[in-house]
Amino acid sequence: MSRTRFTETEYVPEKGRAWLPALFCNIIGVAIPILVIAFMVPLALPQIRGQVTYNIETGSMEPEVPVGSMIIVDQCDPGDLAEGDIIAYSAGESVIAHRVVANNVLEGKLETKGDANEEKDLEPVDYGQVIGKVSKVMPGAGLAMTFATSFGGRMCLVGMILIGVLFNVLAGRLRKL
């Protein structure tokens, strides 16, 4: 009876076989940061242009301005506001977005009302309280803004960018095979 002898050999993969996984990793590694940037641009662009943004948390302006919307507010002269304009104004610690019902220029006050409310607001808004006129409503973007500005949201976005970098590093290593 004869014996067969086996010797240990090291497996060496063929050169160039890892180009497809490397390409896939590169695509993913570039796509993830691009998606993060595309997510952040609509949230940051208004602030770059000097506008103010707010997240709508109550339904007083529904259906025109749904809960979870982001409103973009431009500075304005309160004396130029007309009936039907939506404004943002400070009320103590809160910012409220309501529609102008009447503008009393002589008194320097605005009467306002939420679209979903039956009656106009009890207290008129002094011109000094007016932050500005709502120029754009972006439904759902307020939730994204709240997420992106929270600690957990920021960590998630930074983590996604790091994952993109790791995919690019992996792609570089796969090309060397």
Residues contacting residue 15 through CB under 8 Å, at least 6 positions apart: 177
Q: In what order do the strands lie in the sheet with 52-55?
A: 52-55, 70-74, 130-138, 86-91, 94-104, 109-113, 125-126
Q: Report yes or no on 78 lying in a domain.
A: yes
- The domain that holds 52 is classified in CATH as 2.10.109.10
Residue 122 has pLDDT above 60, yes or no: yes
Domain total in the chain: 1
pLDDT digits (tens, 9 = 90+) for 72-90: 999 999 999 999 999 999 9
Residue 99 lies in a domain: yes
Nearest to 99 by CA among 70, 127, 121: 121
Query: Would you list the DSSP string of the chain?
Result: ------------PPTTTTHHHHHHHHHHHHHHHHHHHHHHHHHHHHHHTT-EEEE--SSTTTTTS-TT-EEEEE---GGG--TT-EEEEEETTEEEEEEEEEEETTTTEEEEE-TT-SS--SSPEEGGGEEEEEEEEETTHHHHHHHHHSHHHHHHHHHHHHHHHHHHHHHHHHHT-
pLDDT at 14: 59
pLDDT for residue 167: 94
Residue 26 located in a structural domain: yes
Q: Is residue 83 part of a domain?
A: yes
Start-to-end C-alpha separation, the chain: 43
How far, in Å, CA of 130 to CA of 128, rounded? 6
Among residues of the chain, what percentage have pLDDT more than 70?
90
Domain assignment present for 37:
yes
For residue range 31-46, what is the model confidence (pLDDT) as tens digits?
A: 999 999 998 888 888 8
- Residue range(s) defining the domain that contains residue 133: 22-171
What is the spatial distance between Cα 51 and Cα 53, in angstroms, rounded to a whole number?
7
Q: Is 176 within the bounds of a domain? A: no
pLDDT band of residue 21 (cuts 50, 70, 90) is: confident
Contact 111, 126 (CB under 8 A): no
Has residue 4 been placed in a domain?
no
Tell whether pTM > 0.75.
no
Q: What average pLDDT does the segment 124-130 reach?
A: 94
